Amino acid sequence: MNNIFVYIEMEGGKVADVSLELLTKGRELATTLGVKLEAVVLGHNLAGIETELAKYGADTVWVADDPLFSPFRTLPHTAVLCGLIGQEKPQIALFGATPVGRDFAPRVSSALHSGLTADCTQLEIGDHKDAKTGTEYKNLLYQIRPAFGGNIIATIVNPDHRPQMATVREGVMRKEYAAQPGAGEVKAIDWKKMVTDADLAVKIIDRQIEERKIDIKGAGIIVAGGYGMGSKENFRLVHELADVLGGEVGASRAAVDAGFTEHARQVGQTGVTVRPKLYIACGISGQIQHTAGMDQSSMVISINSDPEAPINKIADYAITGDVNEIIPKMIKYYKQNSK
């Protein structure tokens, strides 16, 4: 009762990185609350999965292992998780904000009338006092995310309904082994009493899966261009600088919307979240929609004609000037001094 659930998403027989990130954060939250961290896995051929999940702090691993659950289908997954939550009554349930999680979590939330905060960038435990009634609540989940188009950071609480539910995008939380591994106790879910014939109405006939051609999530160096690059032709300078540095190319949403580059390179709230060792922001103003996806970079260098640009507030080094003049000088200097 009142433990923390983390839904474990499987990709090609492996645990998705976002699920391990959520276990890392879940371990922190569970320790603060003094409760158990419980992983929930629905899939097939799951023998031994508890070993990996225990390393990230899972005390209990709930398992439904059957061909019925692989690949993912919304209805049977929803039925089983709703049944398990009704049985165990966790106080918090966390999901990855992936295509699966964005389909799955809202259905579970709707069925349980629990409420759900999507695309959180931070999760914390704290107290809350209702301004109208004066009621005080202890140890609520602070579900923190950008709101109103990214113009503010909102802290959302769910005082009265359980579980408190949130989705988090990949890369937002750190993925680390727990200081003290969890017990990883396996418990089988009695799913057959939870799934009805109606839940099996949809059958998967065929699946077509294409690997990503562009994946910047794990890059150590990212050179990102914004609308300030001016044109698609000028944006090539971003590619040239990334090439000489051995890095990847990223972009702001404004640059993508302007057609300067592909959406797969978009960094930020509606793109990917990255944590490179070096992030060079070229002609990017640095609105919160963008910085939410890169503010955990080890070092940030900004190049912007506006010395008051918001990106400069989080940059370790800020270069003020025309990106189309500065980048060629950087490329030339690096080539001359890297031989």
Q: Annotated binding site for FAD, which residues?
A: 252-253, 266-270, 283-290, 304
Give, in degrees to the nearest 5, the angle at Cα 166 between 148 and 286. 40
Q: How many CB atoms lie within 10 A of CB 231?
A: 11
HSE (side-chain half, CA atoms, 13 Å) at 43: 19
Contacts of 323-328 spanning 24+ positions with Cβ under 8 A: 323/225, 323/228, 323/229, 323/234, 323/237, 323/282, 323/283, 324/229, 324/230, 324/234, 324/237, 327/237, 327/238, 327/240, 327/241, 327/282, 327/303, 328/237
d(CA 59, CA 45): 21
Summarize the annotated binding site as residue ranges. 252-253, 266-270, 283-290, 304
SS (H, E, C) 117-151: EEEECEEEEEEEECCCCCCEEEEEEEEEEEECCCC
Structure tokens at 325: 């003049």
For the four alpha carbons of 318, 319, 324 and 326, in that order, the dihedral sign comes to negative
Is residue 304 exposed (0-12), middle (13-18) or buried (19+ Cβ within 10 Å)? buried
> What pairing do the DSSP bridges indicate for beta strands 122-129 and 136-147?
antiparallel
Q: DSSP class of residue 157?
A: -
